[in-house]
Amino acid sequence: MGSRGLGLVLACCLLLTFACGPVLGRVPPGQQEQQEQEGTREPPLDPAERTEEKHEKYNPKQGEEPTASRCFRCCDPGTPVYQAIPVPQINITILKGEKGDRGDRGLQGKYGKPGSVGARGHVGPKGQKGSMGAPGDRCKNHYAAFSVGRKKPLHSNDYYQTVIFDTEFVNLYSHFNMFTGKFYCYVPGIYFFSLNVHTWNQKETYLHIMKNGEEVVILYAQVSDRSIMQSQSLMLELQEQDEVWVRLFKGERENAIFSDEFDTYITFSGYLVKHAAEP
């Protein structure tokens, strides 16, 4: 080559230098930061300087408070005393335990005052028809009746005489006592009584129907030349153990009733009309 060829080579080299120089001189970011840190890093210290720095690090000067981030050894002099951290308190009232057993029943309290009467409620629906009940007792009928007669005449005396009857026609349940001549009430209610006698010629007839010792009605006939049949009847309301009978008046007057052994002229009858328990 001649001088002219050498000149062309040099020119090409200069052009490449100017074109590729900025690209080749660029440094990657990570490498650039590392280079900057190496450029700012302090030079290494001597062993004496390193011991002094460590002593100053763990032994602060008087009047200065150590920073919270520094650590200390318990054997170093001037170790700061930290305040004790308070123990957290727990409110046990808010802690709910398991359900306990049921306690004993307490005493009954006092009764409260009665409240006012409430309004009447609505009428409820009609219930169903009930079943037939058991048959009741049979109807109890009450009876009492008697009818007696006398076949002997009776004359008055100095005292009152109970007329005694000697003939029994009807004496239901023996309520009429033939020995005493009295009817005893065992079934209370309303009774009907009837007395029939035959008078004596030229003598007065004077009798009473008695109830418990009291005169109730009289049967009377005046003195007459002929004898007649005389009667008396009434209704009485009797209680249990009441007594009814016929009494002949005493001998202040000539008083007598007639009868004989062939016919019955004197009769006394009674019967229950209505029981006291009936409506």
Question: For 110, what's the count of Cα atoms within 13 Å in the CB-facing half-sphere?
Answer: 2
pLDDT for res 45: 53
One digit per residue, the tens of pLDDT, for the chain of length 279 reads 555 666 666 666 666 665 555 544 554 555 555 555 555 555 555 555 565 555 555 455 555 555 555 666 666 666 666 666 777 777 766 667 778 888 888 888 888 888 888 888 888 888 888 888 777 666 667 899 999 999 999 998 888 999 999 999 999 999 999 999 999 999 999 999 999 999 988 889 999 999 999 999 999 988 888 888 999 999 999 999 999 999 999 877 788 999 888 889 999 999 999 999 887
Measure Cα distances from 6 to 2, 9, 16, 36, 41 in Å.
7, 5, 16, 43, 49
pLDDT for res 12: 64
Element (H, E) at 49: helix 47-58
pLDDT for res 9: 64
Structure tokens at 57: 């690090």
Alpha helices in 25-46 (DSSP H): 29-40
Q: Are 254 and 199 in contact (CB under 8 A)?
A: no
pLDDT for res 77: 67
Angstrom distance (rounded) from CA 269 to CA 146: 6
The domains found in the chain, sorted by start residue, are 145-275 (2.60.120.40)
Phi then psi for residue 40, to 5 deg, are: -95, -5
Q: Are 204 and 224 in contact (CB under 8 A)?
A: no
pLDDT for res 23: 47
- For 239-254, b/e burial (b = at least 16 CB within 10 A) is eeebebbbbbbeeeee
pLDDT for res 109: 83
